[in-house]
Structure 1
């Protein structure tokens, strides 16, 4: 990747970081995004970003959990290649992330505890949170399908 593209990758990563995305995960994601094949080895990521193997590993683990990066065998080598999903990283973010379901599953316990404690403020916030995550759990797969349909229509 050219120095100019790597510099731009860092600018994009900084925007993601400001929005709350972990810094190393942002840097790795944007470096993959702007690499020629959208795939790099851990050593290539380390070299391009000037970070440790542990930092690469942590970022990859985080991105895999979100479905934004996947591992595959590097042909002719024992190394793994880290790549963006075929339908691009942003479509992975529109699929139903597991944390929506996980958060929704824990909220009834909090709501019950707030009701038991007669804590009206926390109860109202937890109920609103439950409604939001239930809405997101239902709508995210629908948005993903809409995105795919719009991509098909553009071709």
Structure 2
């Protein structure tokens, strides 16, 4: 049986953790609320009620999440209302988008290594380790993606 008070606490804890990692707080609350909902989609009024916030706070958060591709807006036929739902695989897709940034970061850090005097300097060694880590993550992500897709397929058929 679903423990609504426990769900509320969980939503706040997980969204606070996302916020600590740099995710906008209200967007995190909305994303987690949509993710844990028993319904496929929720209206802005539903979200505002569940989170005890104003509809205006919901509006900005869903706009942000739509831009990230994590939430989709679905119009309600014959109404001015919209429903919002989490896009399937959106967590993974956002992670893949960030992977391209790993390469950009690694290339920029590579420039820094040179101006720091190369790998022989303390700063150069530190930046080399940073560059190498992000290049490794960038290079490994396609294999990790394929492993995830295979695991997800296997779990879906069980």
TM-score greater than 0.5 by the shorter chain:
yes
* Structure of higher RCO (CA pairs closer than 8 Å, 6+ residues apart): 1
Number of the residue aligned with 1:92:
93
The alignment's TM-score, normalised by the length of structure 1, stands at 0.71
Equivalent-residue separation in structure 2 for 1:14 and 1:122 (angstroms): 34
Equivalent of residue 33 in structure 2, options 31, 34, 48: 31
1:140 counterpart residue number: 141
Between structure 1 and structure 2, the one with the greater Rg is: 2
Secondary structure, counterpart of 1:36 in structure 2: coil
Structure 1 spans left out of the alignment, 5+ residues: none
Equivalent positions of 1:40-55 (< 5 A) are 40-52=42-54, 53-54=56-57
Q: Would the alpha carbon gap of residues 62 and 70 (structure 1) be closer, same or farther in structure 2, given more than 3 Å must change?
A: closer
Divergent runs of 4+, >6 A: none
Partners of 1:59 and 1:91 in 2: CA distance: 18
In structure 2, the partner of 1:61 is 64
- Distance between the aligned counterparts of 2:112 and 2:136, measured in 1? 18
Deviations 1:98-146 (A, max 9, x none): 4323322422332232228x98222111111111111111222321211
Deviation at 1:38, TM superposition (A): 4.7
Aligned to 1:125: 126
CA distance in 1, matches of 2:94, 2:135: 17
Q: What is the alpha-carbon root mean square deviation over aligned residues?
A: 3.3
1:110 aligns with 2:142: no
What per-residue deviation string (whole Å, max 9, x for no partner) do you get for residues 39-64 of structure 1? 33444333322345357525752684
**Uncovered stretches (5+) of structure 2, i.e. residues with no partner:** none
| Distance in 2 (alpha carbons) for counterparts of 1:81 and 1:102 | 36
1:72 aligns with 2:59: no
Counting matched residue pairs gives 150
Go from structure 1 to structure 2 and tell me whether the alpha carbon gap of 1:74 and 1:130 turns closer, same or farther (over 3 Å shift).
same
Alpha-carbon distance change, 130 to 42 in structure 1, aligned in 2, over 3 angstroms = farther
Q: TM-score, normalised by structure 2?
A: 0.70
Q: Is it true that 1:152 corresponds to 2:153 in the alignment?
A: yes
Contact 1:100 1:137 in 2 (8 A): yes
1:6 to 8, 28, 43: 8
